[in-house]
Structure 1
Amino acid sequence: MDPLEDVLTLLEPRGRLSASLVAGGRWGLRFDAPPGVKFNAVRRGSCLLEVAGAAEPHDGEDRPAPIELAEGDCYLLTRRRPFTLRSDPAAEPVDAGAVFARAEDGLARVGRGEETYLIGGGFTFGTRAQELLLDRLPPVVHLPAATPHAEAVRWALGEIDRELTRRPAAATLVAEHLAVVMLVHVLRLYLAREPRAVSGWLAGLRDPVVAAALTALHREPARPWTVAELAGAASVSRSTLAARFKATVGQGPLEYLTRWRIELAARRLRESGGGAATLATIAHAVGYGSESALSVAFKRVVGMSPGDYRRQRPAR
């Protein structure tokens, strides 16, 4: 697996769809902070998005500068922050909860007319999503329709729209899986389009030297890697790899390896809440020679012993 696939597999993203929105004329909706990652896609028309705390106040006003959403655009909200959608800057928003509570046949309506149409939903993740992925992204990930190579995102959105509109058998299930496909494509394209907007291991994927080392670590996390071996995998010197890895990811390659091994061990502990897998078995699986070696590393990274972690973390 590559690092992005590894992390997403660990986090088990699941899509969920909400009612679609039809709007017209002058309109505005004020949303409470979503419980998780939120997405919307503009299938027809245009509107403005404002996310609390995601930008500096606009023109001396308290509210943030709006993001213009055109037909075909989509966005992810990676933080739990209130946000507003509106037709124009002067439109006064109403409570979105009340509008969506009146939705019929999967459609919520606001304003007068149907010139704007949005589909949306959200994503839930397993444990550790905030630190491993979401904190590495900006509060708003905006992907304009004109982004080069965005055909895959448009395809996924079109298929979601068709499933929700035509409602064939198992439409919701298919649409929710398609939403996860869309998420992967959005992340891929955003990394290519805005590499400086991400941090940590995500930023490392944009550096060919660091990406080669990350790929090697993720391919064989249990291997007793040395910096020299990783440098060889990246075809650079040890000093070059160490400097570029630290500057990009924020930690050295072996420190990153330790933390990734602990993430893998933590997943196994969560999945074996009843104790089916022994700590020794888990230790060897993630690259530690003994249960005690894993325990020392685990406590240093997580702040508690593997046994305490397993007792406190029910399996998902």
Structure 2
Amino acid sequence: MDPLHDVLALLEVRAHLSASLTAGGDWAVRFDAPSGAEFNAVRRGSCRLEVEGAGQPLDLAEGDCYLLTGPYPSTLGSGSDIAPVPAAPLLAAAGNGTARAGRGEETLLVGGRFSFGPRARELLLDRLPPVIHIPAGAPHARTVGRVLAAIEQELAERPMASALVAEHLAVVMLVHALRLHLARAPHTVSGWMAGLADPVTAAALTALHEDPAHPWTVAELAGVCAVSRSTLAARFKNAVGRGPLEYLTHWRIELTARRLRDTDATLAAIARDVGYGSESALSVAFKRVTGLPPGDYRRRPAAPDSRRPDGPGSPPRPHTSPVR
């Protein structure tokens, strides 16, 4: 396993594709703040993206795509001085899977949203900038472009199970987009994601995620990374914001919380699986990190997440595509 896979799997990321949007002339469409993340790709023409609270407008060209990871409303349009129409009714009224704005068809966008489990904002979304722009001409962006072309083909031709295939492809696009952004702008991410940009820290993170139940020491991790203990400790904390063993504790607690929420496994069984020698040791660590004993955590009402079916601006298609 690797950290990016593990976090996306823990958060049960799913894609929900909206209707395509074709537009021309003077037009603007306003989208509500996403509860998870949102994406759009310009397949034809150009437009302008404005995101409240996220800096200057962004001019998008054909082949560009973007991810919105912050809880901010956004507007897509031909310019900045046009009164926008709300996206939800526009997309809900789409005929043949395509919504229309303005007059003409100069611009075509394909988009949707990603929903996650209840820990997404802390574990993933808050680690990213609120807007991730992937220009068509960026190095290695052709990989994302090929996936988007395949999504567009599925939506246009509608072969059997096209919605399911397109939404699986959208999750693939998300992974590629995160990889590309991490390679292009590692300084804009934080926490464990920042650690992936440092080769030494990334090696340590990978080792911890491959075997979180192992009784790791800093010395053993340093050996895996072929550096000294002091070098590993310094680089890991500088990148991730906490030391490697503290990170391991928090990851074990995330795994424990998932098991408590989703299974009937006993605490003793969970303790063995995540690397604690006893139920009491896990209980102490769990309460220290979360503020709740495991039993109270398991009994409390489920926390709200971003997997609600009425996603921002775009009703989902019947199928969703979880990362497993």
> What's the TM-score, normalizing by structure 2?
0.91
Q: 1:70-91 CA deviation, whole Å, 9 max, x = no partner?
A: 1111111112211111112333
Looking at structure 1, the residues matched to 10 and 86 of structure 2 have their Cα atoms a distance apart, in angstroms, of: 36
Structure-to-structure mapping, 1:1-316, within 5 angstroms: 1-55=1-55, 65-272=56-263, 275=264, 277-312=265-300
Looking at structure 2, the residues matched to 94 and 16 of structure 1 have their Cα atoms a distance apart, in angstroms, of: 22
Overall identity of the aligned pairs, in %: 69
Q: What amino acid sits opposite 2:298 in the alignment?
A: R
Q: What amino acid sits opposite 2:297 in the alignment?
A: Y
Contact 1:22–1:115 (CA<8 Å) still a contact in 2?
A: yes
- 4+ long deviations beyond 3 Å: 313-316
Is the partner of 2:38 in helix, strand or coil?
strand
Is the partner of 1:142 in helix, strand or coil?
strand
The aligned length equals 304
Q: After alignment, is 75-84 or 251-260 more displaced?
A: 75-84
Q: 1:285-309 CA deviation, whole Å, 9 max, x = no partner?
A: 0000000000000001111111111
Is the partner of 1:6 in helix, strand or coil?
helix
Contact 1:270–1:313 (CA<8 Å) still a contact in 2?
A: no
Looking at structure 2, the residues matched to 101 and 253 of structure 1 have their Cα atoms a distance apart, in angstroms, of: 48
Is the partner of 1:145 in helix, strand or coil?
coil
Looking at structure 2, the residues matched to 89 and 18 of structure 1 have their Cα atoms a distance apart, in angstroms, of: 24
How far residue 29 of structure 1 moved from its aligned partner, in angstroms, is 1.3
Contiguous gaps of at least 5 residues in structure 2: 308-324
Q: What amino acid sits opposite 1:27 in the alignment?
A: W
Q: What amino acid sits opposite 1:220 in the alignment?
A: D
Looking at structure 2, the residues matched to 21 and 217 of structure 1 have their Cα atoms a distance apart, in angstroms, of: 43
Is the partner of 2:280 in helix, strand or coil?
helix
How far residue 152 of structure 1 moved from its aligned partner, in angstroms, is 2.0
Q: What amino acid sits opposite 2:79 in the alignment?
A: D
Is the partner of 1:110 in helix, strand or coil?
strand
Q: 1:120-160 CA deviation, whole Å, 9 max, x = no partner?
A: 10011122111111110011111111111122211111111
Is the partner of 1:281 in helix, strand or coil?
helix
How far residue 92 of structure 1 moved from its aligned partner, in angstroms, is 3.0
Is the partner of 1:240 in helix, strand or coil?
helix
**Per chain length, whose mean CA-contact separation is higher, i.e. which structure has more relative contact order (CA < 8 Å, sep 6+)?**
2
How far residue 54 of structure 1 moved from its aligned partner, in angstroms, is 0.7
How far residue 35 of structure 1 moved from its aligned partner, in angstroms, is 2.9
Q: 1:28-59 CA deviation, whole Å, 9 max, x = no partner?
A: 1122222321111100001010100011xxxx
Looking at structure 1, the residues matched to 33 and 211 of structure 2 have their Cα atoms a distance apart, in angstroms, of: 39
Q: What amino acid sits opposite 1:50 in the alignment?
A: E
How large is the RMSD of aligned CA atoms in angstroms?
Answer: 1.4
Contact 1:28–1:87 (CA<8 Å) still a contact in 2?
A: yes
Looking at structure 2, the residues matched to 93 and 225 of structure 1 have their Cα atoms a distance apart, in angstroms, of: 55
Is the partner of 1:29 in helix, strand or coil?
strand
Looking at structure 1, the residues matched to 195 and 301 of structure 2 have their Cα atoms a distance apart, in angstroms, of: 30
Is the partner of 2:41 in helix, strand or coil?
strand
Looking at structure 1, the residues matched to 160 and 115 of structure 2 have their Cα atoms a distance apart, in angstroms, of: 24
Q: What amino acid sits opposite 1:36 in the alignment?
A: G
Looking at structure 2, the residues matched to 168 and 174 of structure 1 have their Cα atoms a distance apart, in angstroms, of: 10
Looking at structure 2, the residues matched to 101 and 225 of structure 1 have their Cα atoms a distance apart, in angstroms, of: 52
Contiguous gaps of at least 5 residues in structure 1: 56-64
Looking at structure 1, the residues matched to 214 and 278 of structure 2 have their Cα atoms a distance apart, in angstroms, of: 14
